[in-house]
Homo-oligomer: A and B are copies of this chain.
Amino acid sequence: MAYLDRVFHSLSDGTRRAVIAQLANGPASIGDLAQCHHMALPSFMKHVRVLEESELVMSRKVGRVRMCELRPDALTAAQGWLEQERRVWETRLNQLDSFVETLAEKEDKHGRE
C-alpha cells in the first residue's frame, strides 16, 4: 500500500481521527486512549499501529506504559495532496471562465456587426 493510501485510510476512521485530535493537545498512553474511547486495550493497539504505520503518530515505551504523540509533520502529506488537486481544479475553472468570457465577447461583437 502506498503512503498516501495509508494516511487517508488512517483518517477514514472516526476513532483514529479523535485520537489525532486528542494527541494534538498533548501525548497520552495507550491505556488512557483506550479507556476514554471505551474500548479494550488490544482493539486500541490496532488503531495505534495503523496510526504509526501511516506515520501520523509515534510512540515509545517509558517503563511499562507506552506514550503516543502526534508526529510534527503528521498531516502535511495529506494536506499537500488536497491542496494540489484543488489548485488544478481551480485553475481549470478559471480557464473555463475566461474561455466563456471570450466567447461572450465574440458573440457581442458578432451581434453588433
With contact pairs A8-B11, A12-B8 given, residues A25 and B79 touching in the complex (Cβ less than 8 Å) = no
Contact B14 A2 (CB under 8 A): yes
Cβ contacts A1-35/B at 8 Å (1 or 0 each): 01011111101111001001100111000000000
| Interface secondary structure of A, over-half rule | helix
Count identical subunits in the complex: 2
Task: Tell me, rounded to whole Å, the shortest Cβ–Cβ distance linking A98 to chain B.
Answer: 15
User: Shortest distance in angstroms between A88's beta carbon and chain B's nearest beta carbon?
Assistant: 4
Smallest beta-carbon distance A24→chain B, Å: 4
A29-63 CB mask vs B (1 if < 8 Å, else 0) is: 00000000000000000000000000000000000
Residues of A at the B interface (CB closer than 8 Å) are 2, 4-9, 11-14, 17, 20-21, 24-26, 70, 74-75, 78-79, 81-83, 85-86, 88-89, 92
